[in-house]
Amino acid sequence: MRNTPKICVINGDGIGNEVVPETVRVLNELGDFEFIHAHAGYECFKRCGDAIPENTIEIAKESDCILFGSVTTPKPTELKNKSYRSPILTLRKELDLYANIRPTYNFDNLDFVIIRENTEGLYVKKEYYDEKNEVAIAERIISKFGSSRIVKFAFDYAVQNNRKKVSCIHKANVLRVTDGLFLEVFEEMSKHYEKLGIKSDDYLIDATAMYLIRNPQMFDVLVTTNLFGDILSDEAAGLIGGLGMSPSANIGDKNGLFEPVHGSAPDIAGKGISNPIATILSAAMMLDHLKMNKEAEYIRKAVKKTVECKYLTPDLGGNLKTFEVTEKIIESIRSQMIQ
């Protein structure tokens, strides 16, 4: 790691153009960074015909981390037969960002983490249409290699972060081959980590969806496949006020990309009322990745104070603007740094 971390900054579309610059303001309070701005998203696609130009991919590969905002995903009917590639799925594939970490906490009685396999499952986008039979078909790819490394990542995460239990979320009672393989890998690997004091169990995906609402405290670390993790983490966001409070990290062996879970929210874009907290908390995860743990904790404590004092945007019942929430967070960070 170089002395001055090189951060690729991709605002994206919609409110990404609001929450990412606010997050950069916060980061500038905490250290010296080299920010390299790059383009991606639907607006980029309309300008140059590519939602993620090769130059953006190269900048991302050469950077220590990527701070990613949000992008608008066009409907197939809007593309008029033009080829479109998802910026975030492309970066996950190009940088082999196989682990998606999505923490859910409310600074009080709720604290669990969903770790989602990021490169396989239905999101490999292997689809085709059988015109003769008028049937659309998608392949779901689950490999032993992919399953092994995400399960190991989840158990290692538990060990490194003083977590006590890892739960495997699956549908092996129906998807006996694909999820059967995922569960088999989990059960075999859990034997090693039991010796390190990490408990393990497993739940069906549909039951988990109910348990997250009725008793989320029963979970600590959840590891699951791509689509299941995507859906569960959005459900989990509902427990803490919405997607505006939900950060995430995409981690590979060489790179890390950090983004809010929310989308581009075109209905509020440009109004200055978007919630910057999810992106700012994603930056805290980035600082942890850069071994700047003290600075990451400054952010989390500042966000906690801001929420407790109800300095909030409208999505959380407040009346502050995006930049005003950021100001409150920066004020708290500065207060911590002089103590």
Q: Give DSSP secondary structure letters for 116-182.
A: EE-SSBGGG--EEEETTTTEEEE--B--HHHHHHHHHHHHHHHHHTT--EEEEEE-TTTSTTHHHHH
How does the average pLDDT of the chain come out, rounded?
Answer: 95
pLDDT tens figures, 217-270:
999 999 999 999 999 999 999 999 999 999 999 999 999 999 999 999 999 999
Residues 217, 214: Cα–Cα separation, whole Å: 9
Q: Indicate the range of 71-85, 97-111, 243-257, 286-300 predicted with least confidence.
A: 71-85
Location of each CATH 3.40.718.10 domain in the chain: 1-97+250-339, 111-239
Residues 174, 163: Cα–Cα separation, whole Å: 30
CATH class of domain segment(s) 111-239: alpha beta
Could you give the residue numbers annotated as active site? 123, 171, 206, 230, 234
Please compute the mean of the pLDDT values over residues 284-305 and round it to a whole number: 97
Residues 10, 257: Cα–Cα separation, whole Å: 10
Residues 323, 326: Cα–Cα separation, whole Å: 5
pLDDT tens figures, 3-14:
899 999 999 999
Residue 82: predicted pLDDT: 75
Residues 24, 255: Cα–Cα separation, whole Å: 19
Residue 81: predicted pLDDT: 64
Is the pTM of the predicted complex or chain greater than 0.85? yes
CATH number of 1-97+250-339: 3.40.718.10
| Per-residue pLDDT at 176 exceeds 80 | yes
